[in-house]
A and B are shown apart, each in its own frame.
Chain A
Amino acid sequence: MKIELKNICKTFNKQSNTINNLDMTINDGEFVALVGPSGCGKSTTMLMIAGIYKPTSGNLYFDGQLVNDLEPKDRNIGMVFQSYALYPHMTVLDNIAFPLKQQKVPKEERYERAKNAADMVHLGHLLDRKPSQLSGGQQQRVALARAIVKKPKVLLLDEPMSNLDARLKIEMREEISRIQKELGITAIMVTHDQEEAMTTADRVAIMKEGELIQYSSPMELYNRPKNYFVAQFIGNPPMNFLKSQLAVKDGKCQFYINDTTVDLNNHLPKIKSHNSIKDIYAGIRPYDLKLGQKGDITLDGVVSLVEPTGHSKMVNVKVGDDRIRFFADPLQKIERGSKITLTASISSIHLFDCESGENLTAETIGEGQDNKLVINS
């Protein structure tokens, strides 16, 4: 089902809008993640799609049909809550069958379908238990089975994995992706974990203070963050930022990092004035930094921390007043306090305006980077 949000506003008190003029389209069969820091309005947006909240203004369409005033029970949606919200006095089977009971499905068929849904999430052996007798991961599966049992047109997931431990998270992430693909269902997931969003969703919507900042595919978000906020939010470990200055003079562009002057030659940033100096952040992903001096720019620094992660070593380096991270080969001998030189290619550098946060990097800089990233990851 295609979901369209047109100019949606939501206000809880009169002073400020929780959601401000939200425009968004979710295509049929798409998996969309709403991400952002807490209080950004992502849960509110989801609850409006569920029909639990009503938008203050603006319109919400399901397949082109206006559903603003449709009750949740008439929207044909399934939802997984952060706390799972299982009915504590019902068995697992009754919990899963509850939506079907509301649709007046005959008892036999109801339990048959509930069992099928339970099998889909590998819960077949726990049907007679009460929710309090289940582990967090199992409760999560019950909630998921209950959400899909009535074959809804939309699956809503509100922070579905925030109560699970790291290992279970990865397992459930795959499970949810698999079920979504199997059913071909339109799904929307709210999360504050960018990694979760990147790995599961077809498209990610980044929200901040009730506004949609960027809405694109995970790779696009990673490679072409629209602004500083997106850049520092997406990617784990986060992007490194170095304070720097951008100078434009007679159509020529230069910026300075750490005593090095970098000519931007052909890569003219999106900048209007022709003679100016601007404070900027130069952003480089930890994966794009290498030891050595062969690249377009070089950075000298002192190692302040080495964290082995198994397949590589994450190294904290102090460059001037900034701290940056990069990944080194696990066999490489790097010691705390030693001086090292790092290098990066100019195409991997993102420039952000310090004031507005806007990404100043011209499109051309990003080119060719996609290929490189595929190799890296």
Chain B
Amino acid sequence: MKKSKFLINGMRKHSLPWLMLAPFLILIVIFFFLPIILIAVNAFTDMDSALQWTFNGIDNFKKMLLDPNMPEILKNTFIYVFFTLAINVLFGLVLGLLTSYFIQKESVGLLFRTIWMLPRISPPVVYVLLWLWFFDPSPYGILNSLRALVDLPPGEWLSSNPKTAIVLANGMIGASFGMIIFSSAIKSIPENLFQAAKVDGASQWSIIQDIIIPAIRWPLMFVTMWQLLSLLTSYEYILLLTGGGPMVESEVLSLYSYHKAFESFEYGYGSAVSLVLVVIALGFSAIIWKVFGMKKMMGTSRVE
């Protein structure tokens, strides 16, 4: 009796916050939790274009183990995520340093950053179209025209180096995210620290290494984690650029799940692939959380 009264009082006391949170909570449940639950359930069915739920136990996972494409796809995923992440973070850092430390004039730095942001605000199709044009196998493609200037024969880049192509296209656009985060972090370092370092005799390299990098340690970790997770699960640029081909040479796990579900209409199998991806992503999150001490980062603002 007393307990229920306490509960009702508590509800009443917190009714306004709950009311305020409700729209957001409903959205999260519908668009974030439900899909994962659906995928998890679907992964144990052999749902196909007939949209029938027939549970088949762990058949999908057995099939995955025996899938002849799987080793190559996993290898592609690893190569794609590793190299794109490297470009994202390192190139983003270089851009951040260039536009906020080496270019001290804010207007010029802002201009450069805006230019690098353009691909982000243009639709992926347009962005990929430019890359398609760049890699075009005909002598009129940008890369081939450039090679023609120095008398080199044209090449069929997208079929000969598909992995390089998807890494470059994703790396370039992803770098702008790191650039924005890093430049704002660099801007927040007190000017005095740079002056002190200069007076103490530090070279440019030493300022970057001893002052800037330690100061933006948390943003660096955050960008690495964020990009890692989004690279694991995103596939739209690959789909548009190479479609995973030729054969499965540039196919990654997330794209494979899309292909299985929406091209072969093997919804059950596609869901199982997605579920594996979710588990991998969760695993990586947990590892990063532990290794980098993300808990500390999430706590308070850490741009020192």
A residues sitting closer than 8 Å to B (CB atoms) are 47, 50-52, 71-74, 77-79, 81-83, 85, 87-90, 98-99, 102-103, 146, 150, 156
Contact = CB atoms under 8 A, between A and B. Distances in A.
Given A87-B193, A89-B215, A98-B200, 13 more contacts: A52-B198, A71-B198, A72-B195, A72-B198, A72-B199, A72-B201, A74-B201, A85-B195, A88-B215, A102-B200, A102-B203, A102-B206, A156-B199
B192 interface: yes
B11 to A, nearest CB: 42
Given A71-B198, A81-B195, A89 B304 contact: yes
Contact of B199 (A78, A89, A90, A103): A78
A90 B190 CA distance: 16
Contacts of B304: 88-89
Given A83-B190, A83-B192, A73 B215 contact: no
B268 to A, nearest CB: 51
Interface in B33-77: none
Nearest to A149: B200
Contacts, number: 65
A51 B211 CA distance: 20
B210 interface: yes
Contacts of B201: 72-74, 99, 102-103, 150
Contacts of A87: 193, 196-197, 210-211, 214
B215 A79 contact: no
20 contacts: A50-B199, A51-B198, A51-B199, A52-B199, A72-B195, A73-B198, A74-B201, A77-B199, A82-B192, A83-B190, A85-B190, A85-B193, A87-B197, A88-B215, A89-B215, A98-B200, A98-B210, A99-B200, A102-B201, A150-B200
Contacts of B208: none
B202 interface: yes
Interface in B192-237: 192-193, 195-203, 206, 210-211, 214-215, 217
Interface string B260-304: 000000000000000000000000000000000000000000001
A81 B196 contact: yes
B217 to A, nearest CB: 8
Contacts of A47: 195
A81 B203 CA distance: 19
A50 B201 CA distance: 11
B196 A79 contact: yes
A52 B195 contact: yes
Contacts of B203: 73, 102
For this complex, into which size category does the number of interface residues on chain B fall? 10 to 19
The 5 closest A-B pairs by CB, nearest first: A85-B192, A102-B201, A85-B196, A73-B201, A99-B200
Residue of A78, A83, A156 with most partner-chain B CB within 10 A: A83
Nearest to A71: B198
Contacts of B202: 73, 98, 102
Contacts of A88: 215, 304
Nearest to A89: B214
Nearest to B192: A85
A151 to B, nearest CB: 12
A87 B201 CA distance: 14
B293 to A, nearest CB: 14
A150 B192 CA distance: 19
A90 B211 CA distance: 10
Contacts of B214: 87, 89
B215 to A, nearest CB: 7
B210 A73 contact: no
Contacts of B211: 87
B196 to A, nearest CB: 4
A102 B192 CA distance: 18
Contacts of A85: 190, 192-193, 195-196
A176 B74 CA distance: 65
A83 B199 CA distance: 15
Nearest to A80: B196
B13 to A, nearest CB: 38
Contacts of B200: 73, 98-99, 102, 146, 150
A89 B198 CA distance: 17
Contact of A79 (B193, B199, B206, B217): B199
Nearest to A52: B195
A83 B192 CA distance: 8
Contacts of A71: 198
